[in-house]
Amino acid sequence: MYVTMNARALMNFLSLRTSREGSHFPSYPQREIEMVAEKMEAEFARLMPLTHGAFEKSGRIAP
């Protein structure tokens, strides 16, 4: 699967499609899409660690 998006769009996707403790806006995604989002987030953290850190620090809200 190939997906293209900018960091802002990815953070918005992750905030809606992952369920995490401590996020400002709780999300309740279906497990199948959450599994995809978890893999995307792992790559996001690997490729853009500073941006991912800011995303986590802000309560998983895209700026």
Among the listed residues 17, 31, 46, 60, the single catalytic one is 17
How many Cα atoms within 13 Å fall on the side-chain side of residue 48? 13
* CA pair distance 13, 7, nearest whole angstrom: 10
8 is catalytic: no
Report whether 48 contacts 7 (CB < 8 A). yes
Catalytic residues: 17
